[in-house]
Structure 1
Amino acid sequence: MERTRANIGVMQPVDVSEPAPPKTGWSLVKPLLFWGAALTVFTLDQVTKAIVRASLEKGESWPDADWPVRIRYVTNTGAAFGILQDQTVFLVVMACIGLAAIYLYYRYPPFDHPIAPVAIGMMLGGAAGNLFDRIRLGEVTDFIDFPSYPAFNVADSSLTIAITTVIVGYLVFAPKPNTPTDENAGADG
């Protein structure tokens, strides 16, 4: 339609008779990888924590102390390494902000590679798993116990692996900035 003074600022009807084209290829696979990873991590985290809570008393370990890795039922009302103990409201608010940031990171990833939605989904699942515990129980269940290291859980492991994967992925797969060549270096126009 030609712009005239009569139709400037007038909303024009939109043709909605044709539906949006179906998602194919990467646009279909990307959300499956993201949500699949998130759901898998969340489910594994919650199932393993439930098994530990049902099988052990708080503070109890299995097997005995001679093993290099044990399952020990401990709880944490704080954040990583026991910081911010009993700051549940603050930690819940921060986790909700973190979940929103992770979702935005998924929508606008730092690099385009199939590992990105998987790793970012793992972040979402891990953060959601610990948030779910914090809201439901007021504490996070930890159980993987190495000597001389704080106990942790599947969600914590997933977050660590995912963040490491995103950092390495960014270093390897992110587009490199254009650098001037010798021919046009220093040319002012």
Structure 2
Amino acid sequence: MAFVLFVLILVADQLTKYAISANFLPGESLPVVPHIFHITYVLNPGAAFGMLPQARWFFVLAAVALFIAFMAYHRQLKRQPAAFYYGCVAMLAGAVGNLIDRIRQGLVIDFFDFRIWPVFNVADVAIVLGVAGMVFAILFRMKDA
């Protein structure tokens, strides 16, 4: 089940990024709900909110280290509460999705634009939801039934 979640997130991320890059020019924006939600093609050289734009290799190495750590501790992670384990899987899938962009073109494709928040992508959503699941499991010390 975890592998399926990982693949679904990764495929959704890469397909949406491909669709955006194939149909938009960088900076081009399509209002879906005017002044509220747009699809805007942004090439992000940094991390969240475009921070650390010159740190491409740091983010590449961090994603690779995350992948290695996940594989090394996979057996222990599987014994954790489901919210924690699947949160780790979602976070890893998002990190790998953005890693693919960084390796392929040196920039991450972002496109969800809510106008009051920096532009983001499917991988970013997976990372945030994954971390939220992990935090939820830790805070509430969830136990599997």
Given the two structures, how large is their TM-score scaled by the length of structure 2?
0.87
Name structure 2 gaps, 5 residues minimum: none
Alignment of 1:156 onto 2:132: no
Of 18, 34, 58, which residue of structure 1 is paired with 2:2?
A: 34
Alignment of 1:127 onto 2:95: yes
1:39-188 alignment, distance < 5 Å: 39-63=7-31, 66-104=34-72, 106-109=74-77, 112-174=80-142
Q: Taking structure 1 as reference, are residues 162 and 115 closer, same or farther at Cα in structure 2, changes over 3 Å only?
A: same
**For the Cα contact (< 8 Å) 1:111–1:170, is it kept in 2?**
no
What's the offset of the Cα at 1:174? Answer: 4.3
Rounded to whole Å, the distance in 1 between the matches of 2:35 and 2:54 is 31
What's the offset of the Cα at 1:111? Answer: 6.3
Q: Taking structure 1 as reference, are residues 163 and 105 closer, same or farther at Cα in structure 2, changes over 3 Å only?
A: farther
**For the Cα contact (< 8 Å) 2:86–2:133, is it kept in 1?**
no
What's the offset of the Cα at 1:169? Answer: 1.6
**For the Cα contact (< 8 Å) 1:111–1:174, is it kept in 2?**
no
Task: Give the secondary structure class of the aligned counterpart of 1:72.
Answer: strand
Q: Report the structure number with the largest CA radius of gyration.
A: 1
Name structure 1 gaps, 5 residues minimum: 1-32, 176-189
**For the Cα contact (< 8 Å) 2:84–2:135, is it kept in 1?**
no
What's the offset of the Cα at 1:110? Answer: 8.8
Task: Give the secondary structure class of the aligned counterpart of 2:70.
Answer: helix
Rounded to whole Å, the distance in 2 between the matches of 1:72 and 1:105 is 38
Rounded to whole Å, the distance in 2 between the matches of 1:104 and 1:170 is 21
Rounded to whole Å, the distance in 2 between the matches of 1:115 and 1:65 is 33
The structure carrying a bigger helix percent of its residues is: 2
Q: Name the count of aligned residue pairs.
A: 143
**For the Cα contact (< 8 Å) 2:85–2:134, is it kept in 1?**
no
Q: Percent identity between the aligned chains? A: 34
Task: Give the secondary structure class of the aligned counterpart of 1:112.
Answer: coil
Task: Give the secondary structure class of the aligned counterpart of 2:115.
Answer: coil
Rounded to whole Å, the distance in 2 between the matches of 1:64 and 1:41 is 23
Larger mean CA deviation between 33-42 and 112-121 belongs to 112-121
Higher RCO (C-alpha 8 Å, min separation 6): 2
Give, as a single letter, the amino acid of the residue that structure 2 aligns with 1:57.
L
Task: Give the secondary structure class of the aligned counterpart of 1:48.
Answer: helix
CA RMSD of aligned residues (A): 2.1
